[in-house]
Amino acid sequence: MNSPSYQIQVISSLSETSASQWNALLPETAGPFLRYEFLHSLEQCGCVGGNTGWQVAHLLVNSSNLSLVGAMPLYLKQHSYGEFVFDWAWAQAYEQAGMPYFPKALCAIPFTPVQGSRFLVASDEDIVAIEKILIRSLKALVSQNELSSVHILFPDKIVLKELVEQGFMLRDSVQFHWHNHKYQNFEQFLVSLTRKRRKNIRRERAQVASENIEYRHIPGKMATSDDWEFFFRCYQNTYLEHHSTPYLNESCFQMLGQLMPEYLHLIIASKNNIPIASSLLVVDQHSSKAYGRYWGALEHIPCLHFEVAYYQAIEYCIQEGIQTFEGGAQGEHKMARGFIPTTISSAHWIADEQFSKAVKRFLEREHEGIAAYVNELEEHSPLKSTTVCP
């Protein structure tokens, strides 16, 4: 897989490189999820690797003097959990044709449906050239290991054209984002909404307020080990209520709280001075974005989810001047809380030529369906027609 003057390397752990080397590749717009501290914490705490179905296989490009000039977060997957782009039907069809779909190659941030850089290139290198080397090496990895496919989830729009030219097929997903139109306070945000949405939010907030709930906003640098322990209990309970198993463990949250607290913000709700619910924001001040990651409650109170996970977060964004709040994958119910549908893409390359043609036809039909779905959603925008969307 080597190229002239460059050496391609696949590593089974980020510990095979250093935080300084990896983070030096990150563009200013990379955000917190691509940082060494985040990805390494997932590995160190056993959330990926081992028997999780996420085999670490990060792809590196080294120069002739062995300095790191390019990289890609990469995993060999034995399933499709934790991706937020659903290809179970593809896997079933592949298996029915007598071919193994798993393992597959996945370039993504585990458990994190956030758009961002996927091809990391040193600032003094030829970006296009290194990206092409990474793509070529990725295909070679698939071929040499007899993998079914490679999937690049939620890459920056800037690389989509290159991926299409390299034979990748694009697949659309719909997320719901909140945008800050220079609001001075939450009431000003409400005024920007249609009467129906404004009335609904006021009703929901009043219902929670009647329970005498209090809120603590805790910057990551001030969060204690006990705060993270309580947050994990809430997070874990969300999965238990759905008869599922959480992707992350407490040690991972504790480690993230130690290694990258400047990117984290906890919201804890208490009733009668007893904590009952919590949510976590990951904050990228440079890009002026906040990401709603997880929430959970130990006591059921109607509409508490909307208050802790959305309204408190929106108030925080207004106060801090953050421009975009991404509420995560799926969730039409977010529109009733002021979020707007946003289409983002993933890129897919299927090794088998005939199956690739079938997937292409499927994606063409799905693309039309997604476009129609978004158009329908936009007809029910929660914003007044006088509010200008980005």
Half-sphere exposure of 358 toward its Cβ, with a 13 Å CA cutoff?
Answer: 11
Sheet order of strands, 274-284 included: 54-56, 75-77, 104-107, 149-152, 340-350, 169-179, 324-329, 289-297, 274-284, 264-271, 213-219
How far are the Cα atoms of 75, 105, 163, 354, 372 from residue 145, in angstroms, in the given order?
13, 10, 21, 19, 39
Which pLDDT does position 390 carry in this prediction?
52
Same domain, yes or no: 195 and 318: yes
Strand partners, 7: 62
Residues of the chain where predicted confidence (pLDDT) is lower than 50: none
Which CATH number belongs to the domain containing residue 89 in this structure? Answer: 3.40.630.30
Same domain, yes or no: 94 and 14: yes
Same domain, yes or no: 192 and 152: no
**Tokens linked to 59:** 């792809």
Q: Which of 118, 143, 167 is the last residue of a domain?
A: 167
Task: Answer positive or negative: Cα dihedral of 20, 22, 25, 29.
Answer: negative
Question: Residue 68 is inside which H or E element, if any?
Answer: strand 68-72
Same domain, yes or no: 239 and 304: yes
- Contacts of residue 23, Cβ cutoff 8 Å, sequence gap at least 6: 35, 36
- Strand, helix or coil at 168? coil
Separation of alpha carbons 166 and 135, rounded Å = 8
Angle of helix 353-378 relative to helix 88-96, nearest 10 degrees, comes to 160
* DSSP structural state of residue 383: B
Separation of alpha carbons 176 and 337, rounded Å = 10
Q: Is residue 306 part of a domain?
A: yes
- Strand, helix or coil at 218? strand
pTM of the model: 0.95
How far are the Cα atoms of 18, 387, 388 from residue 21, in angstroms, in the given order?
5, 44, 41
Separation of alpha carbons 310 and 197, rounded Å = 14
Q: Is residue 226 part of a domain?
A: yes
Same domain, yes or no: 308 and 199: yes
Task: Answer positive or negative: Cα dihedral of 69, 73, 77, 80.
Answer: negative
Same domain, yes or no: 273 and 334: yes
Same domain, yes or no: 16 and 163: yes
Q: Which of 145, 167, 189 is the last residue of a domain?
A: 167
Strand partners, 9: 60
pLDDT digits (tens, 9 = 90+) for 282-310: 999 999 999 998 999 999 999 999 999 99
Separation of alpha carbons 206 and 199, rounded Å = 11
Q: Which of 127, 143, 167 is the last residue of a domain?
A: 167
Which pLDDT does position 36 carry in this prediction?
98
Separation of alpha carbons 58 and 141, rounded Å = 11
Which pLDDT does position 385 carry in this prediction?
75
CA 163 to chain centre: 20
How far are the Cα atoms of 17, 34, 61, 124, 284 from residue 129, in angstroms, in the given order?
22, 21, 11, 12, 29
Same domain, yes or no: 31 and 136: yes
Same domain, yes or no: 227 and 159: no
- Contacts of residue 32, Cβ cutoff 8 Å, sequence gap at least 6: 38, 260, 263, 282, 283, 284
Q: Is residue 390 part of a domain?
A: no
Q: Is residue 358 part of a domain?
A: no
Same domain, yes or no: 25 and 158: yes
Task: Answer positive or negative: Cα dihedral of 308, 374, 85, 345.
Answer: negative
Specify the number of domains making up the chain.
Answer: 2
Closest by Cα among 312, 252, 316 to 277: 312
Reading phi first (left if > 0) and then psi (alpha if -120 to 50, else beta), residue 31 is in left
Domain span at residue 92?
6-167
Q: Is residue 337 part of a domain?
A: yes
Same domain, yes or no: 185 and 279: yes
- Contacts of residue 281, Cβ cutoff 8 Å, sequence gap at least 6: 264, 265, 266, 267, 290, 291, 292, 293, 313, 316
Q: Is residue 98 part of a domain?
A: yes
Same domain, yes or no: 332 and 226: yes
- Strand, helix or coil at 14? helix
Closest by Cα among 113, 107, 114 to 70: 107
